[in-house]
Each structure stands twice: as structure tokens, then as C-alpha cells.
Amino acid sequence: MEKTVDPVALFQVIKRGWRLIAVVCGATAAVAAVVSFLVLPKWYQARTVLMPPQEKSAFSGLGMLLSRVSDLPGGISRVASGMAAINPSQYLFVVILNSRTVADSLIDKYDLEKVYKTKYRFQARKELHNHTVIDFPPEGHVVVAVEAREDPELASSLANEYVAQLNNILMERGVFTATRKRKFLENRLEETHTALLDLEDSLLVFQEKYKIIQPEEQTRGMVELITGPIKSTIEMLGMLQAEREGKLIQLRTLESVYTSRHPSVALLKTEVEELDRTIAKIRGGLTAENALELNDQIIPVSEVPGIALAYTRLFRSVKIQEEMFMLLSAQYEEARINELDDTPGAIVLDPAVVPEYKYRPKRLLNVMISTGIALIACLAYLFAASGLAGPGIASRGRGRLDQG
């Protein structure tokens, strides 16, 4: 036969044991209050909210690389699901914020080994991670929350320092391809500009020496003898040289990301080598002392006056450098624009401020939970003593309650 519990019996048990319930719950509440108000330290939490830039095409490879959340360091807490909808810039920000480099910077700046009373750096690093929450909800922002014991100013300083270190790493380490490409183009453009100025100065000295004011008129007979048949060749040489520079830029950029065995790197190396051979062949044909063909007439280069030949060589070098300078200038401006688009500096939506009220302990909640546990324990004891918890202890429970 199934045993049923009589509500009246339950009430009678509680009524007979109310003194025990009051004493135990009151004592528990008093102890919990003393511990919560006088023993437990106050912890303050400061929060800052960051907005990563919108996803760019340059992040596609990075998004695939960081698609496995389980590989992210630092014990990242997630509140919501929907990983596919998150901006890959968020992953990058979270990886940097949880990095050892950022943690060590904060430890050194604020002497956290002394604050956390740790002997070793890795212990201070672990304490910092335990009191830091970095979340990246699907809304698209990144939240950094830092706790500090008995020091609200330290909490806000640590949260803001996370943002500062994030921006430092993004800007100083050259995380993105556009930054590396821009720096390479900037150096190459400066070298080409210097070479072009030197050649132009040499051409000016040559014109002043031989009193060539209008070379198109004064040296038409001699210069056109050389520049006529090879003008298209010179222009082709300039285009090939410019194409070589473009391939070389792509090669340097890929070599900073991939190894030399990567198919794209090997292909670009082959193309650059082929262009080098072609350019060398064309230059050899222009400078060789053999015959040039012009309208079915053979004109030996050795018979061309030295002035015209020297002018032709200067003209050719200047044209090549001009082509290279124009190409590099266009690519440099494009790289600068891409750098602005691809460098995701953290946009601070809500900077961390000094918290005015403690984050924990939740004193009232602690007292209520402790009192509730004590109440449940008292009721369980009374029901067990009265025999409502099972027939095995019924006789002993009744005897105790009758004696009371």
C-alpha cells in the first residue's frame, strides 16, 4: 500500500519544532552576516566595451584560422551561441587580450605579483586571468571585465590598460598584410625616387656639358638614329621592370606569411626569375655592340657617335625609373588606403570607470542562502525524527518528540 503524507502531520511537526528552527536559522543567519560583512573582502569590478571594425576581406584567412574556439587561450566565457555570426575581428581581439604578452605587461606595470601576493610570475598571471572576464557576445562587441580586491581604482586601470595593450600590439607588431606591404612599398619608393633624382641630375649635367637645350631638335639626327628603332624596346623594358617590381612586392608579402615551399611563393619566384632573364636579354641587345636593323638597313652601333649613345642610355634609364616610380606611387597610395581599412583599432564604446559599489560579496544573498540551507536541514531532521521520512525511524522519532 502506497504511503501518503498528511499535510496536517507536517504542520504539527513544524509547530512542535519551531524553537529548534528559530534557533538554528537565527544562529546561521547571524554567523553568515558576520562573515559576509566583516570577514569577506570587497571586490570591485570595472568593465569596458570595445567595438571591433566590420569584417574585411583581409580577415578571411584569419577567420578560418581562429574558427576553433576550443583552441583559444585563457578560458574565455561565452554567454550566447551562434559562433558563425561573430565577426572574426572579435576572435583576434580575444586572442590578443588573453595572450601572455598582455598579461605580463599588466603585471609589470601594476606590480601584480605584490598585489596578488604570489611568488612566481605564472601564479600572478593565473590570478589575473581568474579575475578577468573577456566575453564576445554575438552582438559584435567585446567586453572586458576586471576585478580587484579592495581597490576600485586598480580595477578600472587594469580594464583600460587591456585596451591600451591591445592597440599597441595591433599597431606595433604589424599584424596585417596591408601594414607590411605599405612599409615595404614606402622603402622601395624612396629608393626609386632617389635613383630617379640621380639619373635626372646626370641627364642635366650631360645636357649642360654638350649644350643640349632641346634634345629633340638638336640631336634629332643622331638621337633618333638610336631611339627610333629601340624606343618601343625601351618602353617594353620599362613595363617589364615595373611588372617585376610588382611581382617582387607580392613575393615579399607572401614570404612574410608563408614558407618558401608554399606553391604561391614558388610560383612567384619562378615568374620573377623569368622576368629577370627577359630583362637581361633585352638590356644585352640594347647595349651590345652589334648591328641594329632599321627599315631593312643595317646600322652598326659602333659607328653611332658617343654622345648620342650616352644620351640614349641616360634616356633609357630615366624612362625605366619613371615607370617604376609611377607604379610604386600608385601601389603605395593603394596600400595606405588598405592599411586604414584593415587596421582594426579598438573602438572604445564604454571606457572603464572607477566602480562606486562593490561587485561581490553579495551579502544579503549569502545570508539568505545560508539561512535557507539551515531551514532545509532543520526540517529534514524534524521530519526524520517524527517518522515522516521513513518507517525505520518512526518509533525513535515519536519517543523523542513525546519527551520534548
Angle at which helices 7-16 and 363-386 pack, to 10 degrees?
110
Distance CA 194, CA 201 (A): 11
Helix (H) / strand (E) containing 328: helix 306-342
Backbone angles phi, psi at 243, to 5 degrees: -65, -40
Helix (H) / strand (E) containing 49: strand 43-51
Mean pLDDT of the chain: 75
Span 43-174+346-350 CATH architecture? 2-Layer Sandwich (3.30)
* Confidence at residue 302, expressed as pLDDT on a 0 to 100 scale: 46
Average pLDDT on 196-206 reads 83
* Confidence at residue 292, expressed as pLDDT on a 0 to 100 scale: 45
Q: Which of 28-32, 178-182, 381-385 has the lowest mean pLDDT?
A: 178-182
The single residue listed with the C-alpha cell 652589334 is 290
* pLDDT range class, residue 395, cuts 50, 70, 90: very low
Distance CA 108, CA 106 (A): 5
* pLDDT range class, residue 389, cuts 50, 70, 90: low
* pLDDT range class, residue 158, cuts 50, 70, 90: very high
Across the beta sheet with 43-51, what order do the strands follow?
132-135, 142-149, 43-51, 347-350
More confident residue, 218 or 323: 323
Count the Cβ atoms, other than its own, within 10 Å of residue 193. Answer: 15
User: 0.75 cut: is pTM over it?
Assistant: no
The domain spans of the chain are 7-39+363-403, 43-174+346-350, 177-342
Average pLDDT on 97-102 reads 92
Average pLDDT on 122-136 reads 93
Average pLDDT on 124-128 reads 94
* Confidence at residue 87, expressed as pLDDT on a 0 to 100 scale: 66
Helix (H) / strand (E) containing 347: strand 347-350
* Confidence at residue 182, expressed as pLDDT on a 0 to 100 scale: 79
* Residue 76 in this model has a pLDDT that exceeds 60: no
Q: Which of 227-241, 248-262, 287-301 has the lowest mean pLDDT?
A: 287-301
Distance CA 185, CA 333 (A): 9
Query: How confident is the model over 370-382, as pLDDT tens digits?
Result: 999 999 998 888 8
Say if residues 326 and 196 touch (Cβ distance below 8 Å): no
Query: How confident is the model over 106-117, as pLDDT tens digits?
Result: 999 999 999 999
Looking at residue 150, its amino acid is: E
* pLDDT range class, residue 58, cuts 50, 70, 90: very low
* Residue 154 in this model has a pLDDT that exceeds 80: yes
Query: How confident is the model over 29-46, as pLDDT tens digits?
Result: 899 889 888 888 888 999
Distance CA 81, CA 261 (A): 39
Determine what percent of the chain is predicted with pLDDT higher than 70.
Answer: 70
More confident residue, 260 or 371: 371
* Residue 287 in this model has a pLDDT that exceeds 60: no
303 burial level (CB within 10 Å; 0-12, 13-18, 19+): exposed
* pLDDT range class, residue 358, cuts 50, 70, 90: confident
Contacts of residues 79-84 at CB distance under 8 Å and 24 or more positions apart, as own/partner, are 79/135, 79/137, 80/137, 80/138, 81/138, 82/138
| Peptide bond before residue 52 is cis, with ω within 30 degrees of 0 | no
